[in-house]
Structure 1
Amino acid sequence: MKWTRIPLGPIQTNAYILEDDSGSALIVDPGAEAEKLISLIKEKNVKPLAILLTHAHFDHIGALDLVREEWNLPVYLHEEEKDWLQNPSLNGSARLLGQGITAKQADVLIEKDQKVKIGSFQFDIFHTPGHSPGSVSYYFQDEGIVLSGDALFKQGIGRTDLTGGSYDTLLKSIHEQLLTLPEPTIVLSGHGPETDIQTEMDENPFLNGFSL
């Protein structure tokens, strides 16, 4: 499986295109600049199968409807944030932008940690709340990558001062759901460059000294 990171919008939120050997693809967090993202997907000549949302903050959903409508794609989102796509107060756009960003409701609501298969893509979904109540991470074991959204960054963690955020909950999620993955696992975050589990265990200043 190949992956491509595309920073989009004023906050440079990372969208990802995941491609398998057959030319199928998954799209993760289409946050902004829909035309740019759609053009890139078409240039790659892949067939998107679904959109995976790590959570429903405005900077991760700004291009959602245009991208989903281009290929009539199902959208996956945790049930804790099922109302956020249509509510600017919940998704943060009212507070942080002063204007409302909305999208249509998700098609598939994630209710629990589970294994999922879409086409040839097989992955685990882990509930990793703290940055937001419905944050999830997508773990592709065979490829050794995890898409952590805004839970875990290179040398950082997600902010917890937005609706439903909790610092203690976020640290618990990271330690129980992410740092338990194999140390070479590559972490693809919602902002910034990739890292790996071992590096963050050893060097992330927010994680050192935390105990459950």
Structure 2
Amino acid sequence: MHVHSFTFNGFQENTYVVSGDQQSCIIIDPGCYDRFEQQELTDFIKRHNLTVKAVWNTHCHIDHILGNAFCCETYGVPLRAHKEELFTLSMAERSAQMYGLAGYVSSPEPTEWFEDHQVIVIDDMEFTVIFGPGHCVGHVAFYNAAENLLIGGDILFRGSFGRTDLPGGSMEVLKKTIHERMFTLPENTVVYPGHGPATTIGEEKRTNYILEF
């Protein structure tokens, strides 16, 4: 399995293209906002002869969905998220106005839904869905046990964790998610977060300042 990251938009959000050996791929949290970022993403997919099978959102904050409409329309694929994230998605237009994102094209609503512990297989790629609220109400992460990797969204960062002061956020819930859902994964699990560099579960169990709370 191959994980390629792009850092897009003014929020420095990480968009991931995850592909398998059969050339299928998933776009996770497409944050591509302008035509240059969109071109960077499509050029990569074309250059590697990948077939996009789905667009997934770990959650629906504005920085993670700026490219939803573009990717779903360009590749003719469905959008998938957790049903609780309809609450977050409903605030996207207001968020775009607040941050001056005049070029935001409204995300389509998801037509497929994630469930906790759900196992999703796309060709030779397999992910287990981990429900991880706290940063927002319907946040999920995607875990591949065979390769010990986690696409974690904004739950856990290198040395930090997702903010909880936005609607639907809760520090107590996020702490529970991190301690009970993240820190119980193998320590050599590589975490690909929604912002910043990759890390490992073991490193964060030793050094993350969530331990101070």
TM-score scaled by length of structure 2 = 0.91
Question: Distance between the aligned counterparts of 1:177 and 1:111, measured in 2?
Answer: 14
Residue 18 of structure 1 corresponds to which residue in structure 2?
18
Residues 34-53 of structure 1: per-residue CA shift (max 9 Å, x gap):
23212221122111111111
Greater mean alpha carbon deviation, residues 11-20 or residues 107-116: 107-116
Q: Is the 8 A contact 1:94 1:100 kept in 2?
A: no
Residue 194 of structure 1 corresponds to which residue in structure 2?
198
Residue 89 of structure 2 corresponds to which residue in structure 1?
85
Residues 139-172 of structure 1: per-residue CA shift (max 9 Å, x gap):
0111110011001000000011111000111111
| Structure 1: gaps (5+ residues) | none
SS at match of 2:70: helix
Structural mapping, 1:68-147, within 5 Å: 68-88=72-92, 92-97=95-100, 101=104, 102-147=106-151
Greater mean alpha carbon deviation, residues 188-197 or residues 65-74: 65-74
Residues 153-201 of structure 1: per-residue CA shift (max 9 Å, x gap):
0000001111100011111101111110000000000000000000000
Residue 4 of structure 1 corresponds to which residue in structure 2?
4
Structure 1 residue 87: Cα displacement: 3.5
Question: Distance between the aligned counterparts of 2:115 and 2:148, measured in 1?
Answer: 24
Residue 21 of structure 1 aligns with an amino acid whose one-letter code is D
State percent identity of aligned pairs. Answer: 35
SS at match of 2:26: strand
Q: Is the 8 A contact 2:19 2:26 kept in 1?
A: yes
Question: Distance between the aligned counterparts of 1:97 and 1:57, measured in 2?
Answer: 15
Q: Is the 8 A contact 1:16 1:28 kept in 2?
A: yes
Question: Distance between the aligned counterparts of 2:84 and 2:103, measured in 1?
Answer: 20
Question: Distance between the aligned counterparts of 1:100 and 1:82, measured in 2?
Answer: 21
Structure 1 residue 100: Cα displacement: 8.4
Greater mean alpha carbon deviation, residues 69-78 or residues 193-202: 69-78
Structural mapping, 1:154-169, within 5 Å: 154-169=158-173
Structure 1 residue 75: Cα displacement: 1.4
Structure 1 residue 95: Cα displacement: 3.7
Structure 1 residue 71: Cα displacement: 1.3
Residue 28 of structure 1 corresponds to which residue in structure 2?
28
Question: Distance between the aligned counterparts of 2:136 and 2:102, measured in 1?
Answer: 20
Structure 1 residue 65: Cα displacement: 1.0
TM-score scaled by length of structure 1 = 0.91
Q: Is the 8 A contact 2:88 2:136 kept in 1?
A: no
Instruction: Call closer, same or farther: CA 1:150–1:23 in 2, change over 3 Å.
Output: same
Question: Distance between the aligned counterparts of 2:166 and 2:91, measured in 1?
Answer: 14
Higher helix proportion: 2
Structure 1 residue 203: Cα displacement: 0.7
Residue 11 of structure 1 aligns with an amino acid whose one-letter code is F
Q: CA RMSD in A?
A: 1.8
Structure 1 residue 24: Cα displacement: 1.0
Residue 168 of structure 2 aligns with an amino acid whose one-letter code is G
